[in-house]
């Protein structure tokens, strides 16, 4: 059954530690996205990827890194440079970017907490 999976559901980070959030999709979508959600705010774009081996920074990319080695996978690493990482992270995907107006479908999210 097709969809987007994110793991883990909850993740704890210690000071100075890098952590990686997983996002996998079996929808055969070309584009994938990472968003951050803070309380009382809408989603903000961290990174997006239109094709394998290519990705672009969003509005709040500082302190984060991504890779896109496979079409199905778009992991997000929260580095120690991200000073306020506590948030809910959502991964999304969409079909080909031709026309630039494709609906994005979301995974269930990962809650990141700092110890």
Q: Is 113 in the site for other proteins (CB under 8 A)?
A: no
Contact call for residues 13 and 113 (beta carbons, < 8 A): yes
Which CB, 44 or 71, lies closer to other proteins? 44
Q: Is 113 helix (H, G, I), strand (E, B) or coil?
A: strand
Residue closer to other proteins by CB (options 14, 103) is: 103
HSE, side-chain direction, 13 A CA sphere, residue 21: 32
Give just the sign of the alpha carbon dihedral 57, 7, 93, 107: negative
Binding residues among 69-98 for other proteins as defined by CB under 8 A: 88, 90, 92, 94, 97
Residues in touch with other proteins (CB under 8 A): 31, 33, 40-45, 48, 50, 88, 90, 92, 94, 97, 100-106, 108-109
């Amino acid at each position: 059954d097709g969809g987007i999976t994110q793991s883990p559901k909850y993740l704890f980070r210690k000071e100075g530690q890098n952590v990686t959030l997983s996002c996998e999709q079996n929808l055969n979508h070309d584009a994938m996205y990472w968003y951050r959600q803070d309380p009382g705010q809408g989603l903000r774009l961290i990174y997006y990827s239109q094709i394998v081996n290519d990705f672009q920074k969003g509005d709040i990319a500082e302190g984060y890194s991504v890779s896109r080695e496979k079409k199905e996978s778009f992991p997000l690493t929260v580095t120690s440079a991200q000073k306020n990482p506590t948030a809910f992270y959502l991964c999304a995907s969409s079909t080909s970017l031709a026309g630039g107006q494709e609906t994005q479908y979301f995974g269930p999210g990962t809650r990141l907490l700092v110890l």
